Every structure is written in structure tokens, then in C-alpha cells.
A and B are shown apart, each in its own frame.
Chain A
Amino acid sequence: MTTVIGKKEIPVIIVALLSLLMIVPFFINAPALNSMSTEVQRMLVPIAGFALILGGLNVTLRNITKISKRSKDWQFSIVLLATFVFFLVVSLIPSPFFENLYTMAYVTVLGKVNEAVMALIAVFMATMAYRGFKIKNFETLLFTLSCLVVMIANAPIGEAVWAGAPGARNWIMDYPNMAGMRALNIGIALGIMAYGVRTMMGHERIALGDIEIKVKKE
């Protein structure tokens, strides 16, 4: 038996069976299979929750190691760990005061920092527009013209600048853009299907944690 089903085949069989359990109810209306599939999906949600805990532990351990070894930029690790511990402690204590403190810290500190960083991106996009859209050949001409048309049409003032802008934008979005996006989406879907079938058949060894192959590729 062990020669037929070895250490590497068991995970492949588990993956294949669970994958089929997820896929088959899409195509066949079998109540027993449906309920089994739902039950497995429900079981996976707490596992995802545990993955978050595992991620938190991993971040903590890596940053403690970084601080103890005085690695490059170790000071940032102190800030990270302090923030991590603060939010963890505050969110775990069931009290209205700590709930408010958590919300206030998140909204007024992290929320505002996030918004500021996003706003900075918009400012740098302005200089990118100036430096990046230089027409040097036919391709950059097409690229710049299509960007200009979409930009004019998307601006609320666009129609006042050029009445034909929305029509031209719609043509760009509905034909070249949609054709490209459809091709990409279908290509990605076929790729995912192929990857899924290969994983179920055990050909994707990396997905099963085959370190040897990983090392060779690196």
C-alpha cells in the first residue's frame, strides 16, 4: 500500500477530493454534495481566522529578531511592535472606553496617514503626466491621445471643453479597452483552470510545499 500511496500522494488526494467537492456542486444539483461543500466552506473561515493569528505571530517574531540583532532599520520594528501591541490590547479589552480609544486611534492616526499617502500619489501623478506623456513615436502618440480623450471626458467640465469627448471615450472603453480586458480575463481564467487541474493531479509540487523544487528555481 505504501508503495502506491506515499507521503507525497496523500496531500494530492486530499487537495483533489476537496477541490472536486467545491467544483461539482456548481454543475450538479445534489443536496448531499451541496451541504458537504457548504460545511467545508464554513470550516475554512475559522481556519482563515487562525491564519491571521499565525501572521501576527510571524510579524512579531521576525521583528523581535530584527531588534535583537540590531539589523538595518531596527528602530522601525520597535514602532511596529508597539503599534501592534497597542491595537491588540485595546481591541481585546471589552470596555466602551477601549473601544472608543481603538476607533479614535485608528481613524485619527492610521486613517489620516492613509489618506495623506493617497493624496500624495495624486500630486505625483501630476508631474508624471508632465514627464511621462511625451510623444516620441506612433505608440506613444496613440497612448497619449487616448489618455487625453478619457481624461477630458471623465472631467465633469469635459463636455464643455469638447462635446465629442464622451462619445470618443465610450468608443475607447467599449471597444479597444473591453477587447483587451476580455482577452486578459479569459486568459487568466483559463490559466487558473489549468493551474487547478495541475494541482489536483499533483503536478504543481510547489503548491504542496515541495521545497526542493523551490530552491532549484531560485
Chain B
Amino acid sequence: MKLETLLKIDSRWIFLAFLLAVAIPIIRPIGLPLKISENTKQVYDAVESVPDGGIVVLTPDFSYDNTGELLPMLETFLNHLFTKNIKVVSVSYYGAASPLLMETAMKSVGLETYGKEYGVDFVNLGYIAGDETAVAAFGADVHALVKVDHYGTPISELTIMENLRSAEDIDLEISLSAGMNYPELYLRQWQTTFGTKVTGGSVGLIYAPLIPYISSGQLLGYLPSMRGAAEYELLSRKPASAIVGMDSQSLVHLVFIAAIILCNIGVLGSYLKPEGGEDET
């Protein structure tokens, strides 16, 4: 076989390999090992360091297109937070369905599973329009900005909101986002001004640009994509949907790597041909 023929593999074979790499481990899990990174430990420690009775603000700023990566992350954070005596306030500054996603996650996690009560241990404030201005206004005076929760209940009737007046009262902000502007918003408006601790997780795509913030200590670690969620599930001893996807993710990565290697063997073959030149595919 001539090496340059590797440059002409039909795309459908790659699609088939991709399909098998995703489907086989879901049907028959392989159980590949997963090492927990320092970054994930840092996020876990940030949650663990929230004092008893402390307030955590959880901001799911993503939509349904990113549920594959971020919904398992949201659920694993909720599972961990509810095992502790921590008040969880959910609010979103991204309009596309974030409050609905929080509802989906809460149905999966279940307040009653942990003996928690809505309005006392958890509240969903829904979406607030205005992007960075809204984040700044929330940080400065929560009660002046928010009057009702996502379901229309006045926040004055919710005991959880009694001790949350401004970003100064937030013990930890957990940002889950599909765009790097969101963690930056919380760093700018809450951390810089009020000293709020910020951590969270994102889709894999925006993790690299956020590394400088982790290195500078502004972000207390940050979970990258479903792998970060899977590591967190292991750390919090609550294996769930992210771990299930890890075998598939491993095999899909191997398909990508094999595709790159095959293509470059083909390129090498085209260079080694006596007449030279590379076949265009």
C-alpha cells in the first residue's frame, strides 16, 4: 500500500470510528483509570473551606448546547454543596435557559434527598438582564435589585436571603459558563471590589484563556469540561453522569490522535515519492 493513500481516507470511516468510540463504552463500560488533577483538588478545597452556614452563589451561565459538559458539573457541585450546611443561591446573567437548566439539575439532585428546604437552604433567583451592569448591581445591593425569585416569591419571604445583602456576604462564587466573559465578570465586579472568592468550571474550549487567572490566584481552580466534573465526582465520592462519559472521551481522543497520525504518515509518503508533492484531499 502506498503511504499517500492515507491522505484519501473517506470521511465516513472517521465518522464510523467516532460513533463506535462514543457508543461502545456507553454500552459496555471499560473502566479506564482517572487521575485527579491539582486544579480539581483546588476547586474541591475552595468548596470545603466555605464556613458552616456560609453562602455560596452558583451562577449557571450556559444554555442547552453545553449541557453535555456543564450539566454534570452543575449536578456534582450541587451534590457536594448539599452534603454540607451551606446556603446555595442560584442566579444567572445569561438569558438562554439557565434558570430552566437549574430546575433540570435540581430535579436530578433533589433537595429532599439531602433534607434541604427551598427558601431556607436553596433559592433560584432566575435570570437578571443587564450583563455586567446587573452583576455589579447585584454585588452592591442584592435586595435593591432583586425583588422576587424565579417563581415570583418575594425574596423578603425567603429566609435564605436575609443574610445576603451584597457580594461581601458571599463566601464563594461558583461560575459555570460556556464563555470566558462570565468568570471575568465576577472577578471584576465581585472579587476586585468586595474580595469575593471565585471558582467554577467551564467548557474545555475556554479553559486555556482562564489559566492566567488560576495562576494569579484570582480563580481558586477551575474545572475544565466533563473531565473536570468527573474528577470532582470522584473527589466528592458521588460518581454520576460525568464519570460514565470518561471512557467515551478517552476513546474519542484516541480516534482524533489516530486521525492526525494517519494523515501525517500520508503527508510523509507524498514527500517520499520520487516526483515529490502532496496529493490534495
Interface residues in chain A, defined as those with a beta carbon under 8 Å from any beta carbon in chain B: 26, 34, 37-38, 41-42, 44-45, 47-49, 51-52, 103, 106-107, 110-112, 114-115, 117-119, 122-123, 125-127, 129-131, 133-136, 144, 147-148, 151-152, 154-161, 166, 173-174, 177-178, 181-182, 184-185
Contacts and interface: CB of A to CB of B under 8 A. Distances in A.
Contacts of B253: 151-152, 154-155, 157-158
Contacts of A123: 15, 18
Given A51-B129, A122-B252, A130-B9, 8 more contacts: A44-B130, A45-B129, A45-B133, A123-B15, A134-B264, A152-B253, A154-B253, A156-B230
Main SS of the interface on chain A?
helix
B270 to A, nearest CB: 10
A166 B254 CA distance: 16
Given A111-B67, A181-B212, A147 B97 contact: no
17 contacts: A41-B136, A42-B140, A44-B133, A106-B97, A111-B67, A111-B97, A114-B63, A122-B252, A129-B259, A130-B14, A147-B260, A156-B246, A157-B254, A159-B33, A161-B254, A173-B208, A174-B211
A114 B101 CA distance: 13
A141 B98 CA distance: 41
Contacts of A157: 32-33, 250-251, 253-254
B162 interface: no
Interface string B10-26: 01001101100000000
A147 to B, nearest CB: 7
Contacts of B118: none
A112 B254 CA distance: 27
Contacts of A49: 129-130
A115 B68 contact: yes
Interface of B: 9, 11, 14-15, 17-18, 32-35, 37, 63-68, 95, 97, 100, 103-104, 128-131, 133-134, 136-137, 140-141, 144-145, 192-193, 204, 208-209, 211-212, 215, 224, 227, 230, 246-247, 249-257, 259-260, 262-264, 267, 278, 281
